[in-house]
A and B are shown apart, each in its own frame.
Chain A
Amino acid sequence: MAKPKVATTSLCGCFGCHMSLLDIDDRILKLVELIEFHKSPINDIKKFTARCAIGLIEGGCCNDENVHVLQDFRKNCDILISVGDCAIMGGIPAMRNTIPLKECLEEAYLNGPTVYNPSGQIPNDPEIPLLLKQVYPCNEVVKIDYHLPGCPPPADTIWEALVALLTDKPVDLPYELIKYD
């Protein structure tokens, strides 16, 4: 029987959650026995070519491309997991949610105290994804099946959740594995 496939992505995140996944240390060997990584920055597979059992989402949606990727994950994965506070609630990027987008851009590229931008222009290339008016938690864009909180979630949290799902057990995290920081 083919091993179940797992896809991962980092949307508006810092790759910290991926680091945490790698932090399961030697259990990663066990993991690759259980699963096969499909589309993921870990193996640099860029496109879905097969249906995945699980999609791990790091980061919230801050731009139109994030939305596109997330929707693609939803289409191609049976189970989607928000991994980390950014995916769950926007995380630190969501601190801009109370500020109008224009002001954010002007602060970042024109007015901020550390800005060096002789051109005086806000980057605007069709290749650059467009920012959304706020950072959206993933489950406001697509349905999310599980949430693993933490910034990043402890490696054990990710491990326990994956093992439970892959062995058809309920995801029932013990006290010490639910952490918001």
Chain B
Amino acid sequence: MSNTITFMIDGVEIEGKPGQTIMQAADEAGIYIPRLCAFKGLSPYGACRVCTVMVNGRPQAACTQPVAPGTVVENDTERLQHLRGNIVEMMFVEGNHYCMFCEKSGNCELQAMAYRFGIAAPKYPYLFPERDVDASHPDILIDRNRCILCGRCIRASSDLDGKNVFQFVGRGKDKQIAVNAEARLADTDIDVTDQAVSSCPVGAILKKRVGYAVPIGERLYDHKPIGSDIEAARTAGS
């Protein structure tokens, strides 16, 4: 059995390994596929759908879809960017994102994704949902207004921290992130150094007393779009 799987992304021949997802193989080849719920070191989840690609003409999530020989994958097409932009816009109107005072701003993956897609404002109406904030813990804050239900904290807590601090409760539009206690994060065994805390892509789980630590202009996505690091590998190397 050969150890490489050859397939195409946007006309470029890519070599993947058995067991890899399309996203993993694309990353190695320096092709960025937008993503929000996927995170290095965590099991694939397939929730945000921002990584939707066409595999032989059928839509699939690149973060969960394994590579297969001879497949033709479309990634950077106008149609897909449009669909992905729509999804990002949905996330903004679904929650309450007040970037102007969010400590994550500038380092936030959701915001960065919207910047990358050049979204000035969502075309959908804001839903202004009522969501809770949990500031019970001395070192960590949960602001559910900003949660995009990506499940990264859940997986990080169970897979990396060996705890089970987070899980989803409710379903559909009422689904929300809950903690392993009757109500309060303070009553769980979470620690501020847990990977669950740092895995949150947005400002929903924040370390207290950090504030706006990095000045505007020096933050992660102030100048370069999200995904530039992956794309840099392509322009530099291979």
Spell out A's residues near B (CB within 8 Å).
Answer: 82, 85, 88-92, 94-95, 97-98, 134, 137, 139-140, 146-149, 151, 173, 175-176, 178-181
Contacts and interface: CB of A to CB of B under 8 A. Distances in A.
A34 to B, nearest CB: 22
B225 A175 contact: yes
B126 A90 contact: yes
B120 A92 contact: no
A95 B121 contact: no
Interface residues of B, number: 27
10 contacts: A89-B121, A91-B100, A95-B98, A98-B129, A137-B125, A146-B120, A176-B223, A180-B100, A181-B100, A181-B102
Contacts of B100: 85, 91-92, 151, 180-181
B105 A180 contact: yes
B187 interface: no
Interface in B188-230: 216, 222-223, 225
A151 to B, nearest CB: 3
Given A149-B121, A175-B225, A178-B115, A92 B99 contact: no
* 5 smallest beta-carbon distances between A and B, as pairs: A151-B100, A147-B121, A180-B99, A98-B130, A97-B128
B97 to A, nearest CB: 8
B106 interface: yes
A10 B55 CA distance: 49
Contacts of B116: 175
A176 B222 contact: yes
A106 to B, nearest CB: 18
Contacts of A149: 120-121
B120 A147 contact: yes
Which residue among A89, A98, A151 has the maximum number of chain B CB atoms within 10 Å of its CB? A89
A155 to B, nearest CB: 14
A92 B129 contact: no
A178 B126 contact: no
Contact of B120 (A97, A148, A151, A181): A148
Given A90-B126, A92-B100, A140-B125, 15 more contacts: A82-B121, A85-B98, A89-B121, A92-B101, A97-B128, A98-B128, A98-B131, A146-B120, A147-B121, A173-B118, A175-B223, A176-B223, A178-B118, A180-B99, A180-B105
